[in-house]
Structure formats: C-alpha cells, structure tokens
Amino acid sequence: MQIVLITGPAGVGKSTLCWEMSAQLAAAQVAHAVIETDELDRVFPRPSAEDLERIWPGTTDVSSINLAAIWSTYRALGHSRLIMSGVMLHLDFDRRWILAAIPDARITVVRLVAREPTILARLAQREIGSGAQEQVQRSLRQARRMASEDAGGALVVPTDGKAPQELAETILRKVGWLKA
C-alpha cells in the first residue's frame, strides 16, 4: 500500500496537482484513489473525545476514522495507491493518524513550496468573501513555518512558474507510479 502525501501551505497548488496526477494516472491506466484530507474532518460541531472513543477506542481524530472507512472500500476494490493532499504542519502527528487508519501504508511526503507572491496570486483566484484576508494570513504563516522547518525526509518541490502537468509527471515518475 503506497501513499503519496502532497502537502504545503494553502494556495501552493496541492489540489490542482492531485487532480493532474490523477488524470495522468488514469490516462496510463494506473489504478489509484485520491483523498483531500480537508474533507475528512469537515463537520460541525466537532466530535468530542467521548464520541470518538465510542466509535473507535483509542483514537482522538475523526480524520483517521473517516480515512479508515473510505480506504476500506478502496482496498476492497483492489486499490493499492492513494494520493492524499492537505496542509500538514505536524508531519510526525499526521503520519501517525494516517498509519492508524492504514497501518500497512508506505508514505512518501511531497512538500510543495512557492514564493509568497505566487501563493498570494493563487489565493486571489480562489478566495472570495469575508474569510479571504484571514485565509491569506493563515497561508502565509503556514508557508513561513514550513520554510523554517526541516523537511523531514519529504521531497521538496518548488511550484513557481511550473505547470501542473509538468509537476505531476515529475512526481509520478520519481515515486515510480509512471514509467519513463
């Protein structure tokens, strides 16, 4: 079981890259699944620790429970490759909840980076409404924090000036999911 975990600050291009990776794998007839981690815990109100303990003893994260549920279906369908994306600020913690859901997974982390003007331009294209400025500030904090930390064995991929098609092909070849 192989996971390519695409991470980076909001606006760096994670979702777009995942969609392109999926399109290239589909064109090559390579079976895979894609999960955006934001959707694993988009719930209100947040479940309490007691609720989570009742559903899955020992867990503290609804994302892990939902990932396990979704992956069990994909596994039953014969899948062994998963592309996941999300802002992963605590890679050790994130690896733990992912492995709690999919214990046999081998995780390759790909951290996308971009200069601040690139992130701001991308966010301006997608963020509208009352939360836009707050999202910009949060994304810049995420980018600065990630840039100041060790990549922890992640494959660091700059996205400035690169098309999603080029990035997807490069990453898929590097992880061995597409042949040269």
Structure tokens at 108: 């390759």
Q: What angle do CA 177, 93, 21 make, to 5 degrees?
A: 20
Q: What is the pLDDT along the chain (180 residues), one digit of tens a residue?
A: 999 999 999 889 999 999 999 999 999 999 999 999 999 999 999 999 999 999 999 888 899 999 999 999 999 999 999 999 999 888 888 999 999 999 999 999 999 999 988 988 888 887 677 778 888 888 888 888 888 888 778 999 999 999 999 999 999 999 999 986
Q: What angle do CA 173, 177, 180 make, to 5 degrees?
A: 45
pTM as predicted = 0.90
Domains of the chain, first to last: 2-169 (3.40.50.300)
Structure tokens at 31: 């079976």
3-class DSSP state of 82 = strand
